[in-house]
Amino acid sequence: MEGLSGAGRAPLDAQPHDLLRLRAGELPEAEAGAPLPGWARRALERAPWVVVRRGCAAPGGLAVGIRGEARRERLAARVRPEQTAGRVTPYELAERRVWRGLPRLGEIAALRALDAAADHWDRLGLVWGPAGGAGFELATGTPVCRPSSDLDVVVLLSGRIAPEEARRILDVPGRGAEDSRLDVQGLSPRGGFALAEYARGGSVLLKTAQGPKLTADPWEA
């Protein structure tokens, strides 16, 4: 499957987990200002996509991450909107059910699990989408998921929910039959947090552009 084209260049309000397609010949700048390592250049030649991350970029820029083949190959970088040719959000991937056309669906448990999860979260009226390796593969067509990969998902939660509502979101029917772990991140206006951690009650670690913060209320941190 070929990667999705997106539409237009990425706006400055691109959100964490959005995937940005780079224009031909454009390269991000490593956050540390050093030259891009060889693995990063090869990864961008194979799939010219970066993922928006939380962080403070220079004015007029976007904080992004470069994904290599190995788990240790991750690099913080920054791009300018004019360097990008399009954007795909996790929510578009879910709405289009992109995984149903993926040739590797039978090999990857995390991708197969998306169908049951999609029906459950749609019934709950959630705005959600695949992120992490699953999101990257679905958006770019580049095989990065392994049979043991987790299923990373983001759920937009603009308004406060109770822990029992979080538990209901996580209670995906039939998930135990799939050989993959489900990692759901709630996204409040203040940042991202593990929904399973919030469902247990107590404080959660909230990921913000200024760094992680421990809070009992991820909507008011």
For the chain, give me the number of helices (H) and strands (E)? 7, 12
Q: Active-site residue 150, yes or no?
A: yes
Burial group, residue 109, by CB count within 10 angstroms (0-12, 13-18, 19+): buried
- Contact between residue 183 and residue 151 where contact means Cβ atoms under 8 Å apart: yes
Q: Which of 13, 119, 122, 150 is catalytic?
A: 150
Q: Which of 18, 152, 171, 179 is catalytic?
A: 152
Residue 91 has φ and ψ, to the nearest 5°, of -70, -30
- Contact between residue 203 and residue 27 where contact means Cβ atoms under 8 Å apart: no
Residue 176 per-residue DSSP state: G
Q: Active-site residue 18, yes or no?
A: no
Residues with catalytic roles: 150, 152
